Structure 1
Amino acid sequence: MKKILSVLLAVTLCTSICLTGCQKSDKSEKNSKDSNTEKELVDVKLNEVAHSIFYAPQYVAIEEGYFTKEGIRLECVTGFGADKTMTAVLSGDADIGFMGAEASVYAYQEGANDAVVNFAQLTQRAGNFLVARKEMPDFKWSDLKGKDILGGRAGGMPEMVFEYILKQNGLDPQKDMNIDQSIDFGSTAAAFSGGQGDFTVDFYKLLHPHLFIMLVYIHT
């Protein structure tokens, strides 16, 4: 009987040791995999031209961990203007710039040693609004004649899209109105809130809460 108990006890101890060993081995293997996954993540810094609802697909991908699943640890910062975003890319402060395609053309024309390549598209429309100081339910494009308008930086996508729309509606941007192109992209809303201009062209996220959105959307 003692021999049987001794054998059972020995078997039990052996079994316990094996199970514990397996658990440690599995846990060690899991930690190793987690560690490897952590090591395999590539750090990528993305500089976006503006933080806007129009770029929602990108933010969803970040929040849902899509980049992490692809082995990318993404850091997203806001440049507040294509010129600043491009500067960040050219200086090496950012790996990728999210901005209008025109910025890479300007950089190339200015003789950038390492040409920036446009490789992906996220939006198909210009997310710009024309903003007035008061409600204009019967607005016509001709109402802009003789007015002062904050268009944003010269050569910037919002300003160029605005001029395109004006021409499509029979207006001459240079003769029919005064478009101020001296204020950079990130400062037009503040300037307009401070009393400059009769109208301003801006992105939704930059609008001051007390300003009235007159035109819902500028299509191209």
Structure 2
Amino acid sequence: MRKIKSILIVTLSFILLTFGMTGCNEQGLKKVTIAEVTHSIFYAPQYVAIEAGYFKDEGIDVQLILTQGADKTMAALLSNEAQVGFMGPEASIYVYNQGSKDYAINFAQVTKRDGTFLVGRTEIDSFNFDMLKGKQIIGGRKGGMPEMTLEYVLKNQGLTLGENLAEGNTQVRTDIQFAAMGGAFVGGEGDFVTLFEPTATQLEEQGQGYILASMGQLSGEIPYTAYSALSSYMAKNPDMIQKFTNAIYKGQQYVETHTAEEIADLIAPQFKEMKKEQLVKVVQRYKDNDTWCTDPILKEESLNRLMDVMELAGELNQRPAYQELVNTTFAEEAVK
């Protein structure tokens, strides 16, 4: 929480001096930069929309920039480095609660569950959460969705969080950068780690870790990742937001109605380092977990559940109104 505050304060001090601009490419497509929190198969509907040409059909030329963390994604949005942010809605809540006048508004939800998996050092046929007592888990940045959801699951499983492992506590480490979590675990840090795909499967196939549990299955439905834009950009570019949402909805529908193999074939250019069988395996795992929304409408009860998780993690002292943080107009029109 402190980290995201410091980054946003620095970013806001320069926002009047930095002007991110969208133009048109040689084909007449309007350029839109998306800052994505991570590059993962977890976001398959987005890559389907890119590779199937749904964005181009709407007159949009999408450019992706990888930020590795919701705090950095929000910073890119606030500084106008990107026009659209793709991250957990918790980041927009933090900014709103800090009193920012031009804050991020969520307009399209993509994932409805946590996309991380608990990975251990040994294969355990009958894993149960009591095995985490007295153990250390690399959980990600404090106040980020992966870390908060992990705490939510652990507490619901009856575990006590703390640093004194000798007393049977479970320690969640928040001092390792998001992008470095897998490497730190392989290097000997922690007893367990939570990882997105494809990293989790890659470690398993290399014999360096074993998937033990799905955080998404255990946490239940939650608006884990959504698209947002600054209120000022949204007011000036409603047509762009609508076309963008239309493309995402088409990507969601494709993922809903096609097989894991068909999806894997389509998004393969986004994951050139993976073999086809790996890609199919990961897509199927996410499909089995009921990971993806079938439409982009972020409902009020879902946002309330997210804020429940944030409160349990001690990261929320004020619950903003749903209407302040979410605009469903574009999603509802796309579904029509």
TM bracket, shorter-chain basis: 0.7 to 0.9
Work out whether 1:196 is the aligned partner of 2:200.
Answer: no
Work out whether 1:65 is the aligned partner of 2:58.
Answer: no
Q: Indicate which of 156, 160, 165 corresponds to 1:168.
A: 156
Q: TM-score, normalised by structure 1?
A: 0.78
Structure 1, gaps ≥5 residues long: 1-34
* Structure 2 counterpart SS, 1:187: helix
Question: Cα distance 1:155–1:212, how it changes in 2: closer, same or farther (>3 A)?
Answer: same
What per-residue deviation string (whole Å, max 9, x for no partner) do you get for residues 78-134 of structure 1?
211111111111111111111111011112223334111111101111111101011
- Find the counterpart in structure 1 of residue 31 from structure 2: 43
Q: CA RMSD in A?
A: 1.9
Q: CA deviation at 1:211?
A: 2.7
Work out whether 1:80 is the aligned partner of 2:77.
Answer: no
Q: Indicate which of 195, 210, 213 corresponds to 1:213.
A: 210
Structure 2, gaps ≥5 residues long: 1-23, 164-168, 221-336
Question: What letter matches 2:112 in structure 1?
Answer: Q
- Cα distance in 1 for residues equivalent to 2:133 and 2:213: 20
* Structure 1 counterpart SS, 2:74: helix
Q: Indicate which of 54, 74, 90 corresponds to 1:102.
A: 90
Q: TM-score, normalised by structure 2?
A: 0.52
- Find the counterpart in structure 2 of residue 26 from structure 1: none
* Structure 1 counterpart SS, 2:117: strand
Quick check: 96-105 or 108-117, which moved more? 108-117
Question: Cα distance 1:135–1:68, how it changes in 2: closer, same or farther (>3 A)?
Answer: same
Work out whether 1:184 is the aligned partner of 2:177.
Answer: yes
Question: What letter matches 2:108 in structure 1?
Answer: A
Work out whether 1:53 is the aligned partner of 2:41.
Answer: yes
Q: CA deviation at 1:184?
A: 2.0
- Cα distance in 2 for residues equivalent to 1:75 and 1:37: 15
* Structure 1 counterpart SS, 2:212: coil
- Cα distance in 2 for residues equivalent to 1:58 and 1:204: 15
- Cα distance in 2 for residues equivalent to 1:59 and 1:153: 25
Question: What letter matches 1:124 in structure 2?
Answer: K
Question: Cα distance 1:187–1:37, how it changes in 2: closer, same or farther (>3 A)?
Answer: closer
- Find the counterpart in structure 2 of residue 20 from structure 1: none
Q: CA deviation at 1:37?
A: 8.8
Tell which structure's C-alpha radius of gyration is larger. 1
Q: CA deviation at 1:142?
A: 0.6
Identity of aligned residues (%): 48
- Cα distance in 2 for residues equivalent to 1:99 and 1:193: 26
Aligned length: 185
* Structure 2 counterpart SS, 1:171: coil
Q: Check conservation: 1:47, 1:76, Cα contact below 8 A.
A: yes
- Cα distance in 1 for residues equivalent to 2:160 and 2:27: 56
Greater relative CO, 1 or 2 (CA 8 Å, sep 6+) = 2
